[in-house]
Chain A
Amino acid sequence: MRIQTSEDLDSIRKRGLQKIQPGRPRIGVGTSSCGIAVGGIALYNRMHKIIQMKNLDISLVKTGCIGFCKEEPIVSVNIPGKALVLLRKVQEDDAERIISLALEGDVPSDLVLCKISDWDHITGNLVYGNGFDTIPEYGEIPFFAHQKKVILRDSGLINPEDIDEYIGIGGYSAAYQALTSMEPDTIIDEVKKSGLRGRGGAGFPAGLKWEITKKAPGEEKYIVCNADEGDPGAYMNRNEMESDPHMLLEGMLIGAFAMGVHEGLIYIRAEYPLAIERLMLALDQARTYGLLGKNIFNTGFDCDIRIATGAGAFVCGESTALAASIEGKTGRPRLRPPRLTEKGVFGKPTDLNNVETWCNVPVIIAKGALWYSSIGAKGNTGTKVFSLVGKVDNIGMVEVPLGTSLHSIIYDIGNGGAQGKEVKAVQTGGPSGGCIPVRLFDTPVDFESLNQVGTMMGSGGLVVMDEDTNMVDIARYFINFASGESCGKCVPCREGLKHMLLILNRIIAGKGTREDLDLLRELADTVQKTSLCGLGQTAPNPVLTTMQYFKEEYDALISSEA
């Protein structure tokens, strides 16, 4: 059926809620890529078989990822009227007893992680119930307690392959409101007032970019979602798309309407097959409901969104390279201006936003700019999702208000170094970022503060390094990466990085001299100042920050030879 009126939306919402709380036990198995790799799909299949064979009155669904990667596979069990219980590290062999206990209204106590009595989906609120008195609440688990879930509000709780569940917790109601009762300019104003800044790393005000695109001359325009997520160590976007794909589509739909654009593209890495599959499915479902296509909500507005796959080129995160890649060309950046908002995909004005930027839009419309801007810090509103990885104890996907300190993320949420080791530094911003030493962990995570310490927000990878990590090796690792990913168009990046790599190799081999350090710094400065695009301009950051904060490690390698 096509959803045209608010009654239509309401009836689907009721059906969706019925699926989430079906009045019989519901078991959800975390099946995002990581969950699958540690046995999630095998577990799901086993449970499915048991339920079918015995014809049991249990609802079994795939859910996305709740973010506590270390504890995967995570299974949720909801007995009607009782709190939802999360089970951790569930193995295939646990299937039988989880099911039989669920039928008795219980859960296996040895697998329990925590319970959720009620949940704020922001676009809607779900009350599960009480019970299981001895099980700790979600908010009592340190890993969860310090987080604020706005983007990840549905992740791990709803079935990402069923649009009804997304609508069930209030999904697409913001789009309905925007398209049927808001002026496009009011929407743009609201996004501007919210203070939302681009989550791809640069932090450009999203509403302003929308406004510029809207005002750009021309009938045919594009909106594009950057889902290329090229930073090694970052997988937030993959998770967002695998766990809650409709959130992205709804954000893009609202944006398209606000800018008066009828064509949306999601540029996604080929390395994310499951995210592509779930997005394809989500697009089909949205089209079936008339949420994409012609005459959406009977307003006369047409819009469709399609997928364009990347093919493994880090440089395609740069906007002009990305546009070229969509056009089927090699991803080589060109000089800006003209910016994409003026001359983008196929020469048409194009608004390019990161996955997470789009994902913020539905809640901004649903709850208003004032509500949104009360989260985070001044000039850095909202939350940000990070992948907290590397040598940290609690590995996972974490979401915190902007302005939260690195210390809080790494120690309160991450529980410090893995295996009791001392944390030495954290690397943010991928190959464009830098390494921050532990003594600067009071630094608030916001766009400006990170720049001040020589790194950048980037897309949100936080790679923790401990006492065993050699920082010179890390610098070499990133230069090797950037040098390999350089598109080769401009000399400073192509040649400069190569020579920085040679020098670093020499230093690590114990054959470096003092002059090498000077030359390395000089080259870094030149590459930074004279490269054509962001890849080259930021590539020296890992070298510069490690030379600044971990000079003794460079010195040690030099002096050992001397």
Chain B
Amino acid sequence: MDEKTLDGIIEKYPYPAGRTLGILREIQLQERHIPMDTLKLVSVKLEVPLSELFALVTFYSFFSLKPVGEHLITVCMGTPCHVKGAEKILETLQGHLGLSGDTQDGKYLQTTPDNLFTVEIARCFGACSMAPVLHVDGDLHGYVTPERIPDILEIYGWKR
């Protein structure tokens, strides 16, 4: 993220309440991860030690320091999704995309070698009526079944 864009974001937060997390949220949304260089820049501009910012982005699950692929798939792991087979949805996705189930630092985030897809999990995004759900680049897909997953992936350029 260039300095001017960052300044634009920081300007939107003149008040201390909610400021730091608000700024980080916008960086995360724009870059789809928190680039280390940007974090360093934020540290200088907000006069907050980098170690503190690092603590924040590793504490809160909304942030990620790792870049993601072209399309980001978030699988909801909330209770209604769980009882309706979210585990199976995640496994099926991993199977089709050839991703491992390994977590790192308590976080699941895996990217395909061609960088087309990244799969992550979320606690619950409150779309429980359509469980199980996932979203791809922010688009919500509800009532997902393992059988429907290839169709969903194809929308985003996956080839069977």
Does the CB pair B60–A311 fall under 8 Å?
yes
Task: Count A interface residues, CB 8 Å.
Answer: 62
Judged by a CB distance under 8 angstroms, whether A34 is at the interface is yes
| A466 nearest in chain B by CB position | B83
Judged by a CB distance under 8 angstroms, whether A283 is at the interface is no
8 Å CB contact of A310 from B15, B21, B48, B125:
B21
Tell me the B22-64 residues at the A interface (CB within 8 Å): 22, 24-25, 48, 52, 55-56, 59-63
Does the CB pair B59–A331 fall under 8 Å?
yes
Q: Which residues of B contact A222 (CB under 8 A)?
A: 17
Does the CB pair A328–B19 fall under 8 Å?
yes
| A233 nearest in chain B by CB position | B79
Main SS of chain A's interface residues? mixed
Tell me the B136-160 residues at the A interface (CB within 8 Å): 138-142
| A387 nearest in chain B by CB position | B128
Judged by a CB distance under 8 angstroms, whether A396 is at the interface is yes
Judged by a CB distance under 8 angstroms, whether B69 is at the interface is no
Does the CB pair B127–A33 fall under 8 Å?
yes
Q: Which residues of B contact A328 (CB under 8 A)?
A: 16, 18-21, 48, 56
Judged by a CB distance under 8 angstroms, whether B77 is at the interface is yes
Instruction: Give A115 Cβ to nearest chain B Cβ, in Å.
Output: 23
Instruction: Give A1 Cβ to nearest chain B Cβ, in Å.
Output: 26
Q: Which residues of B contact A273 (CB under 8 A)?
A: 138
Does the CB pair A389–B131 fall under 8 Å?
yes
Judged by a CB distance under 8 angstroms, whether A371 is at the interface is no
Q: Which residues of B contact A366 (CB under 8 A)?
A: none
Instruction: Give A276 Cβ to nearest chain B Cβ, in Å.
Output: 9
Tell me the A95-111 residues at the B interface (CB within 8 Å): none
8 Å CB contact of B142 from A38, A327, A478:
A38
Does the CB pair A312–B60 fall under 8 Å?
yes
Does the CB pair B61–A309 fall under 8 Å?
no
Interface residues on B, range: 35 or more
Does the CB pair B21–A463 fall under 8 Å?
no
Judged by a CB distance under 8 angstroms, whether B123 is at the interface is yes
Q: B16, B83, B127, B129 — which one has the most chain A CB atoms within 10 A of its CB? A: B129
Judged by a CB distance under 8 angstroms, whether A532 is at the interface is no
Tell me the A180-236 residues at the B interface (CB within 8 Å): 222, 229-235
Judged by a CB distance under 8 angstroms, whether A270 is at the interface is yes
How many angstroms from the CA of A195 to the CA of B60 in the assembled complex? 36
Does the CB pair B128–A484 fall under 8 Å?
no
Does the CB pair B129–A70 fall under 8 Å?
yes
Does the CB pair B59–A313 fall under 8 Å?
yes
Does the CB pair B140–A33 fall under 8 Å?
yes
How many angstroms from the CA of A230 to the CA of B24 in the assembled complex? 20
Given the interface pairs A311-B63, A389-B129, A396-B129, the reply to whether A37 lies near B140 with Cβ below 8 Å is yes
Judged by a CB distance under 8 angstroms, whether A265 is at the interface is yes
Judged by a CB distance under 8 angstroms, whether B71 is at the interface is no
Q: Which residues of A contact B18 (CB under 8 A)?
A: 265, 267, 306-309, 326, 328
Q: Which residues of B contact A38 (CB under 8 A)?
A: 130, 142
Q: Which residues of B contact A310 (CB under 8 A)?
A: 21, 60, 62
Judged by a CB distance under 8 angstroms, whether A414 is at the interface is no
Does the CB pair B16–A327 fall under 8 Å?
yes
How many angstroms from the CA of A286 to the CA of B140 in the assembled complex? 30
Judged by a CB distance under 8 angstroms, whether A427 is at the interface is yes
How many angstroms from the CA of A474 to the CA of B19 in the assembled complex? 37
6 cross-chain pairs, A with B, having the tightest CB-CB distances, nearest first: A308-B18, A328-B20, A69-B129, A232-B78, A311-B60, A235-B126
Q: Which residues of A contact B (CB under 8 A)?
A: 33-34, 36-38, 69-70, 72, 222, 229-235, 238, 263, 265, 267, 270-273, 306-314, 325-331, 345-346, 387, 389-391, 395-397, 427, 430, 461, 463, 465, 469, 474, 477-478, 481, 484-485, 487
**15 contacts across the A-B interface (CB closer than 8 A):** A38-B130, A231-B124, A232-B81, A238-B126, A271-B62, A306-B15, A309-B25, A311-B21, A311-B62, A330-B60, A387-B128, A389-B80, A390-B79, A463-B80, A481-B123
Q: Which residues of B contact A (CB under 8 A)?
A: 15-22, 24-25, 48, 52, 55-56, 59-63, 77-84, 106, 122-131, 133, 138-142
Known: A235-B128, A346-B17. 10 other contacts (CB 8 A): A37-B140, A232-B79, A232-B124, A234-B124, A306-B15, A307-B18, A309-B21, A312-B123, A387-B128, A390-B80
